[in-house]
Amino acid sequence: MNEVIAQRLANFQAGKADPIALIFFAIIVAGTLMITYWAARKTKTTSEFYAAGRSVTGFQNGLALAGDYMSAASFLGISGMVALRGYDGAIYAVGWLVGWPALMFLIAEPLRNLGKFTFADVVSSRLKNRPIRIASAVGGILVVLCYTIAQMVGAGKLIQLMFGMPYELAEILVGTVMLLYVLFGGMLATTWVQIIKAVLLLFGITILAGLVLFKFGFNPANLFGAVSDTYGFETMFKPGGFVTSPIEALSLGLALMFGLLGLPHILMRFFTVPDAKEARKSVAYATTFIGYFYLVIPIVGFGAAALVGQEFITGIDKGGNMAAPILAAALGGKPFLGFIAAVAFATILAVVAGLTLAASSAMSHDIYVSVFKKGQATEAEQVKVARIATVVFGVAAVALGILFKNQNVAFLVGLAFAIAASANFPALLLSITWKKFSTRGAVWSIIAGAVSASLCILFSPVIWVNIFGFEKAIFPLKNPAIVSMSIAFLAAYIGSVTAPEPESQEKFEQEKIRTYLGVGAE
Amino acid sequence: MNAHEIVNSDRFKKLVRKRWTFSYIMLAILFVVYFGYLFLISLDKEQMIHLVTPNITLGIALFVAVIVIAWVLTIIYVLWANSSYDKEVEELKKMLK
């Protein structure tokens, strides 16, 4: 049995395009482009372009949300982290799930009832439209941009490793296919690409974990025993440097939990379902799929450590990102490696497509139509501007992906979550729940949150010490959320108290019928 | 009743209050569970490698427990909203004519 694995590992060569992988890859791309062709005929109005005509069911949206969230970074990154660092990887995985229940309890239903295409619609619904639009669109674009750069750089490296394609070509390929989905199929095509990818990914990790457990008599305890025997019990199962002090733990936990509630590409999915009830159902399905995903991922990681070996994994990629694909090759041979590689590729395409759509809606719907045109634009003009914004962002994503080629971009995901939790989330929550929230409060909160989160990260050990090489960090915590979120809420309070708006307080009361009963929701 | 009267009715106010009370209780449970887990790890790392059953550490058991509890809380919210909240919403909407 183990000879087969050794034989397959000996055959494994990174950077060599495997014909089976290429066939799977071609099938996935062809299939998704056919969906785009079908969706393109249904996508003519702005509501269809941004919100799939609000025709998505709760179950479908749950899968699409899970697809948006289960990025290649989680699939490859966390399984690799578990394979190399053991239990610490699992602690990280938990944090990615706990935002979902919070999203459900706090904002899912009111968000759906109050919103149209973007979360800025909700924040600005009862306040002065223009300043808020600009602030929240900028906050949203910042988050999406950080997230996109991290995805694009990760994607380029992954494709380079798996298909042996040059990095720049990989970037352009991802950019082109993704642009085709968004440009022609809009939200409907993007949603279906996400659904397909989520199903393939869940199917893939189930098979992978099943094959691992099969080797250990379907008992995880045997797997953990084998891992301990090889690498030492304490090394793999004792929590290490990931969570150091309680305050560091609290700050990281807050960023992961509430960052989700400020991610524009996740929030905009809630406008694709017909009503609040379907929005609620979509979170329940998404939480189910994502919870399952994070329960299974450590089995894949520990399996890779036990069956492939850490040395082999780090020999292919130092960060351990190839642990899952190598494990697939070891357990299922080339066809399975081909399948997993293609799924990882589809994952990147789908996530970048979702991000691009979110950025383009902020640029066209929030900035161009609402601020420059003051809401006076025809349907045809709005769709045209949305498509131009899509191309602009897509080209920028490819260019930035190439520019950041040799940078360590892991901190960008942390930055995206910290800004989302500090700039977008407080303003969104307060606009739904706090009567006295005013325009100045909202603008101050978004700016204070974004600026303080960015500065704290710049001065944190992660950048100030590790990247700039200074001896001591100015800001002591690795994650700024506990400080920057407090600043954002404080700024919201001071701004709202110093510039109260009686008319928006009156509007808040009137709007309740829409917030809670869904009467008048679009 | 018109929209203005509905919003000012006791029944509507009670519904809004009930919705947020329930949400915040669920959020508080989630906080205790997740941040409790992180605090335990940050305060006592030795405790986490205590074996619950052969080869399964307390850390692994808690990892599974936090994920399962987070999921169960979400499902409880949906069940509550589908039965209790939605019914009230439907009746209030009927009054709005």
Query: Do A349 and A178 touch, CB atoms closer than 8 A?
Result: yes
Secondary structure letter of residue A1 according to DSSP: -
Closest chain A residue by Cα to residue B35: A250
Residue of B39, B41, B93 with shortest CB distance to A517? B93
Which residue do the tokens 């085709």 mark? A180
Residue of A102, A239, A509 with shortest CB distance to B7? A509
Chain A residues in contact with B49 by the CB 8 A cut-off are: 233-234, 237-238
Strand, coil or helix: A426? helix
Testing the interface with A: which of B46, B53, B78 to mutate, by most A Cβ within 10 A? B78
Chain B residues in contact with A286 by the CB 8 A cut-off are: none
Mean confidence (pLDDT) of chain B: 92
Residue of B45, B75, B93 with shortest CB distance to A238? B45
Interface check B48 vs A, CB under 8 A: yes
Interface check B80 vs A, CB under 8 A: no
Phi then psi for residue A475, to 5 deg, are -105, 125
Query: How many domains are contained in chain A?
Result: 1
Q: What is the pLDDT of residue A270?
A: 95
Q: What is the pLDDT of residue A495?
A: 96
CATH of the domain at A193: 1.20.1730.10
- CA A124 to chain CA centroid, Å, is 24
Testing the interface with B: which of A247, A278, A289, A516 to mutate, by most B Cβ within 10 A? A516
Residue of A253, A277, A288 with shortest CB distance to B71? A288
Closest chain A residue by Cα to residue B54: A221
Interface check B53 vs A, CB under 8 A: yes
The DSSP result for A200-260, as a single string, is HHHHHHHHHHHHHHHHTTT-HHHHHHHHHHHH-HHHHHS--TTS-SHHHHHHHHHHHHHHG
Does A522 reside within a domain? Answer: no
- Decide if B67 and A294 are in contact by the 8 Å CB cutoff: yes
CA A205, CA A297: separation in Å to the nearest integer? 7
Q: Where are the domains of chain B?
A: 3-87
Chain B residues in contact with A277 by the CB 8 A cut-off are: 81-82, 86
Count of CB pairs separated by less than 8 Å, A with B: 151
Interface check B71 vs A, CB under 8 A: yes
Q: How close, in Å, is residue B44 to chain A by CA atoms?
A: 9
Secondary structure letter of residue A479 according to DSSP: -
Residue of B27, B41, B67 with shortest CB distance to A239? B41
Does A441 reside within a domain? Answer: no
Interface check B68 vs A, CB under 8 A: yes
Burial of A476 (0-12, 13-18, 19+ CB in 10 A): middle
Residue of A98, A222, A224 with shortest CB distance to B34? A98
Domain residues for the domain of A133 are: 2-41+59-407
Q: How close, in Å, is residue A258 to chain B by CA atoms?
A: 12
Does A445 reside within a domain? Answer: no
Going by C-beta distance under 8 Å and a sequence separation of 6 or more, which residues neighbour residue B5? none
CA A83, CA A399: separation in Å to the nearest integer? 32
- Decide if B38 and A91 are in contact by the 8 Å CB cutoff: yes
Strand, coil or helix: A273? coil
Please report, as a single letter, which amino acid is at residue A240: G
Which residue do the tokens 């009930």 mark? B18
Query: Do A363 and A373 touch, CB atoms closer than 8 A?
Result: no
- Decide if A105 and B64 are in contact by the 8 Å CB cutoff: no
Chain B residues in contact with A244 by the CB 8 A cut-off are: 42
- Decide if A513 and B38 are in contact by the 8 Å CB cutoff: no
Q: How close, in Å, is residue B35 to chain A by CA atoms?
A: 7
User: pLDDT tens-digit profile of B51-88?
Assistant: 988 889 999 999 999 999 999 999 999 999 999 999 99
- Decide if B70 and A246 are in contact by the 8 Å CB cutoff: no
Q: What is the pLDDT of residue A150?
A: 87
- Decide if A234 and B77 are in contact by the 8 Å CB cutoff: no
Going by C-beta distance under 8 Å and a sequence separation of 6 or more, which residues neighbour residue B13? none
ipTM of the complex: 0.95
- Decide if B71 and A287 are in contact by the 8 Å CB cutoff: yes
Residue of B53, B71, B78 with shortest CB distance to A221? B53
- Decide if A90 and B37 are in contact by the 8 Å CB cutoff: no
Q: How close, in Å, is residue A467 to chain B by CA atoms?
A: 26
Closest chain B residue by Cα to residue A229: B55
Interface check B51 vs A, CB under 8 A: no
> Residue B57: enclosing H or E segment and its boundaries?
strand B56-57
Testing the interface with A: which of B42, B64, B95 to mutate, by most A Cβ within 10 A? B42
Residue of B19, B55, B63 with shortest CB distance to A225? B55
Does A84 reside within a domain? Answer: yes
Interface check B23 vs A, CB under 8 A: yes
Q: What is the pLDDT of residue A14?
A: 63
Of the candidates A132, A126, A107, A127, the residue with the CA atom closest to the CA atom of residue A511: A126
- Decide if B55 and A228 are in contact by the 8 Å CB cutoff: yes
Which residue do the tokens 């006076």 mark? A376
Q: Cα(first)–Cα(last) distance of chain A, in Å? A: 59
Does A207 reside within a domain? Answer: yes
Q: What is the pLDDT along chain A (522 residues), one digit of tens a residue?
A: 578 888 888 777 666 667 877 788 888 889 888 989 999 888 888 899 999 999 999 999 999 999 999 987 788 888 999 999 999 989 988 989 999 999 999 999 999 999 889 999 999 888 888 899 999 999 999 999 999 988 888 888 777 777 778 889 989 988 998 899 999 899 999 999 999 999 999 999 999 999 999 999 999 999 999 999 999 998 899 998 777 788 888 898 999 999 999 999 999 999 999 999 999 999 999 999 999 999 999 999 999 999 999 999 998 888 888 899 899 989 988 888 888 888 888 888 888 999 999 999 999 999 998 888 888 888 888 889 999 999 999 999 999 999 988 777 777 888 899 999 999 999 999 999 999 999 999 999 999 999 999 999 889 888 888 878 888 889 988 889 999 999 999 999 999 999 999 999 988 988 898 999 988 887
Going by C-beta distance under 8 Å and a sequence separation of 6 or more, which residues neighbour residue A406? none
